[in-house]
Structure formats: structure tokens, C-alpha cells
Amino acid sequence: MSGEEAVTFAKKYVSDILSFFGINVDVDASLSDDGFIELAVPSTESNSLLIGRNAETLRSMQFLVTNALRSQDAEVTRVNIDIADYKKQRADKIAKQAKEWIEEVRQTGDSKVLSLNAADRRVVHGVASEYADIQTFSEGEGLDRKIVIAQQSS
């Protein structure tokens, strides 16, 4: 299955899940430059149901779509679903918080270890890359993976 076919498949798959819940909206689908299928679901009265506590429902939908694409031998299987711009707003919030954490590390000189999900860790790594005197790295495995924000060693 080509990249374009995978995008079409993923869009239909998400639309079918939504229609199961009685939600009939147009899902925006595209292939990003970094090889993700980006699926955007507009805001509805069911946002909280679709996102779930700590975005668990949203991540579960991504997992389902990814596995469906893999079972179809799709060329592209990495999926990012955003519902009502939840992920964008969360990334903005985490980026703002990351700047505060970085300033704290700069002032105290102490490293900061945080338990964040993979998407939030990526945001923090991105923000930290803008600071020459700060380094970040992840340590641990699976659900125990953490990000460390530290001053750059000389």
C-alpha cells in the first residue's frame, strides 16, 4: 500500500470509528514531511469522550490505526491523530513549561528528571535544543522512561 493509499485508508478507518459513536465529521488527512499520517478531527460535543483521560482514548485510536496499516503492509504506518487541536494546545503548554524547567536548571544548576509521555518528551527536547547551555536526554525503558534536563557539561 503506497503512502497516499495509506492516508486514504487511515482517514476512512478513523471516520468509521467516529461514525460508530454517531459522530459524522470530515477528518482532514495528510502525509507530513517527517513521514507521519496526520489526521485532524474537528471539535464536536464528544471531544472529551474521544480524547479520554490523559489522552488514553486518543492514543488507543492511534494504536488501532497503526496496527491496521501494518496489517495491510502499508508503506507508512506512523499515525498522529489530533482531536479539536488537543495535541497542539498540549504541545504549546508543555513548551511553555519546558522553558520554566530550563530556567530552573540554569538557576539552581541541578538536573531535573521528569516522567513525561513520548510526545511531551519530544516537545521538551525541541525546546531545549534552542539553548546552547542545556542538554536533554531520555533514560529508562517503556512506561518508566523519563527525560533529564541538565546543564551542558564543558
| pTM: predicted TM-score of the whole model, two decimal places | 0.71
Cell, residue 13: 478507518
The chain-wide mean pLDDT, for the chain, equals 88
Residue 154: predicted pLDDT: 55
Return the CA Rg of the chain. Answer: 18
Strand partners, 80: 38
Domains of the chain: 3-84 (3.30.300.20), 89-151 (3.30.1370.50)
Total Cβ atoms within 10 A of residue 98? 27
pLDDT tens string 96-116: 999 999 999 989 889 999 988
User: Distances in Å between the alpha carbon of 118 and those of 76, 142, 143?
Assistant: 20, 10, 9
Return d(Cα 130, Cα 48) in angstroms, integer. 34
